[in-house]
Structure 1
Amino acid sequence: MQKKAPASTGISIEDSQLFRQSITGAKPIAQDKIPPVVAPRKQKRRTDVSSQNSDENLFWFSDEFEGFVADGASLSWVQPGEDPHLAGRLRRGECQPQVVLDLHGMTTIQAKTELAGLLAYCQQQQFNCACVVHGKGLGILAQKVPNWLIQHPNVRAFHTAPKSWGKHGALLLLLKTDQQQDEHWR
C-alpha cells in the first residue's frame, strides 16, 4: 500500500520541521470540564391588573353590542341627556386630554382590557378628558372602540380627535367625574 503525498499547504518542509522541533515536549492541556454558570431565569410578572378588578372593569363591554354606526369619516356620539354640543367642543379641541392611551399593535382582548383600565384610572384620578389612539390599520379597533365606549356609563361624549391628537386614528373622550369642577363642561 502506498502512502498518499500530503496535500500542498504552502508551508515549506523546513518550516514544518522547525515547528515540530519547537513543540517537542509539549503536553496537551487537560480539560477541567467545568460547565458555564447559567444565571437563574427571572419569573415574568403579570403586568395586567388583578383578575377581579379586571372583571369589574370589563363588565361594561360586550363584543356583541353594535350600537354605533359611523356615517362618515368623523365619529361622534353624545350620551342621551347630555348637552348635544359636547361633541362639537371636542371636535374643536376645547378640551385637552389629561391622559392618552395608544392601542396600536394590540389584540381586541388586550385593547378592551387597556380601555377598561383607562376608564377606571380616569375615574380614580378624576380626569374628565382622555384620548384613545386606536389607529387606522384594518379598522377592527376603529369599529370596536366606539361600541365599547357607548356601553360605559362614565363616557359622556366622544368625537374624532383633532389633527394634533391623531385625527381619524384617535378619539377624544369626555368623561363623568365624581366632582364636576369645571362648569364650562357640565
Structure 2
Amino acid sequence: MSDPRDEDDDAALFRDAIGPVRKLPESPPPPMPARPRARARMAERDETAARDEFRLALDEHLAAAGDVLAWQDGLPDSVYRRLRRGEISAQEELDLHGSDARTAEALLRAFLSDAQRHGLGCVRIIHGKGGRGDADVGSSGAPILKNMVDRMLRQRASVLAFHSAPPAQGGTGAVVVLLAPPKRR
C-alpha cells in the first residue's frame, strides 16, 4: 500500500511546479437553436375541416356519366351561350384518359397554369365518361375523373366558365373551359 502522505507530497510538488493559478472566466453558453416559427394551428385545423366539408358537399352532388358539366361566374350570357354551343374554339387540349385521379389532378393543375401563363383563352379537357372499368368509377358509381375535373374547375380563380363539349368535340366526356386573361404586372 502507498502512504497517503506521498500522494499529498505529489499534489504539493505539482502545485509548486505550476505556480499560482487563476480561474478562467466562464464562457457563454452555446447559442440555443432557433425557436420554430409560430403556426396558426387552429386556422390550419379550421381550413382542413372546411376543405373536408366542401369535399363531402361536392360528393353529395356527383355527376353521372351522361350529365352535362356547366358553370359560370359573372360571364355575360351571350359569351356563355357561345361557349355552350361550341362557337369558341379550344386553343389547347388535355386528355386525361387512362390517368389515375392523383396524376390527373396534377396534370390538370399544371395544364391550367400553363394555359393561363401563355394567355390561352379557351381549352378543352377530355375526362371521359367513366364507363370503361372499375378504375374509372368510384364506389358511388360516379365517374372519378369527370367529378374531379368539375370540382377543380369550380375552385380555380382563372376559370371564368366551363361547359360540357358539343357532341362533335367529345360531348359529356369532355369540357370546354374559358380562362381569364393573365394578370398584368
Which of 139, 159, 182 pairs up with 1:178? 182
- Does the alignment pair 1:157 with 2:161? yes
Runs of 4+ in 1 over 6 A off after TM superposition: none
Match of 1:114 in 2: 107
CA contact (8 A) 2:117 2:182 kept: no
Q: Percent identity?
A: 35
Deviations 1:7-48 (CA, angstroms, capped at 9, x unpaired): xxxxxxxxxxxxxxxxxxxxxxxxxxxxxxxxxxxxxxxxxx
Which of 68, 82, 90 pairs up with 2:83? 90
Deviations 1:70-95 (CA, angstroms, capped at 9, x unpaired): 5972211001x222444321121111
- Residue 170 of structure 2 aligns with an amino acid whose one-letter code is G
* 3-state SS in 1 of match to 2:58: coil
Which of 95, 102, 110 pairs up with 2:95? 102
- Residue 165 of structure 1 aligns with an amino acid whose one-letter code is Q
Deviation at 1:104, TM superposition (A): 0.5
Aligned pair in 2 of structure 1 residues 70, 84: CA closer, same or farther (>3 Å)? Answer: farther
The TM-score normalised by the length of structure 1 is: 0.57
Which of 143, 150, 175 pairs up with 1:146? 150
Match of 2:67 in 1: 73
Name stretches of at least 5 consecutive residues in structure 1 with no aligned partner: 1-60, 181-186
- Residue 114 of structure 1 aligns with an amino acid whose one-letter code is L
The TM-score normalised by the length of structure 2 is: 0.57
**Distance (Å, rounded) in 1 between the aligned partners of 2:69 and 2:79:** 13
Name stretches of at least 5 consecutive residues in structure 2 with no aligned partner: 1-50, 131-136, 138-142
Deviation at 1:126, TM superposition (A): 0.3
Deviations 1:127-153 (CA, angstroms, capped at 9, x unpaired): 000000000122111111111100000
* 3-state SS in 2 of match to 1:172: strand
| Alignment size in residue pairs | 119
Aligned pair in 2 of structure 1 residues 99, 153: CA closer, same or farther (>3 Å)? Answer: same
- Residue 66 of structure 1 aligns with an amino acid whose one-letter code is L
**Distance (Å, rounded) in 1 between the aligned partners of 2:105 and 2:160:** 18
CA contact (8 A) 2:63 2:146 kept: no
* 3-state SS in 2 of match to 1:94: coil
Greater alpha carbon shift after TM alignment, 85-94 vs 137-146: 85-94
* 3-state SS in 1 of match to 2:103: helix
**Distance (Å, rounded) in 2 between the aligned partners of 1:171 and 1:104:** 13
Aligned pair in 2 of structure 1 residues 122, 75: CA closer, same or farther (>3 Å)? Answer: same
CA contact (8 A) 1:77 1:87 kept: no
